[in-house]
Amino acid sequence: MITKVLMVCLGNICRSPLAEGILQSKVDTNSVFVDSAGTGGYHIGNPPDPRSIAVARKYGIDISKQRCRQFSVKDFDAFDIIYVMDKSNYTNVIAKAKTQTAISKVKLLLGEIDGAIKEVPDPYYDQQDGFEHVFHLIDSACEVITNKLNARQ
Ligand code: 4NP
């Protein structure tokens, strides 16, 4: 059985494309499907932000072929787990949920790790080092998620 994981942020050009690429790079893609989406619709059809593409490439991950799409209510049925990057993403996603099952699928990505930082900060207005920080936060959480997914099979 394939486990389907959706990574969600606001724009789907900075954080969630990184989360998609990082998790995809760690899991067996025959048993885990990873996608990403944004709650906002500002960048639909666009590739990820060049700074996200650059930091991913630095660590050997190519996210340049991803294209931005908007989160849809259908994603609650299409995915098993929906990871959001911050609490405002959580509020925006939950607002579209119609069932308790749908709500129960939505989790903060950094809830998977024990650190003090609970939200992946939006790096959109940062310099490149903001993207480096975000990469490592997401990478730590994806390591834990991968171990959990492997234990499940
Ligand atoms: P993301 O960052 O949610 O990590 O993709 C953002 C990208 C673009 C915008 C906001 C956040 N924007 O307002 O255009």
- pTM score, two decimals? 0.97
In this predicted structure, the answer to whether residue 153 has a pLDDT above a threshold of 60 is: no
Return d(Cα 132, Cα 123) in angstroms, integer.
9
Choice among 49-58, 64-73, 82-91, 120-129 with the minimum mean pLDDT? 120-129
- Which pLDDT tens digit goes with each residue over 96-111? 999 999 999 999 999 9
Q: Are 43 and 68 in contact (CB under 8 A)?
A: yes
Express as a percent the part of the chain with pLDDT over 70: 99
Measured from the CB, is residue 12 less than 6 Å from ligand 1? Answer: yes
Return d(Cα 99, Cα 143) in angstroms, integer.
30
CA of 151 to the centre of ligand 1 (A): 33
The predicted pLDDT at position 129 comes to: 87
The predicted pLDDT at position 121 comes to: 97
Measured from the CB, is residue 105 less than 6 Å from ligand 1? Answer: no
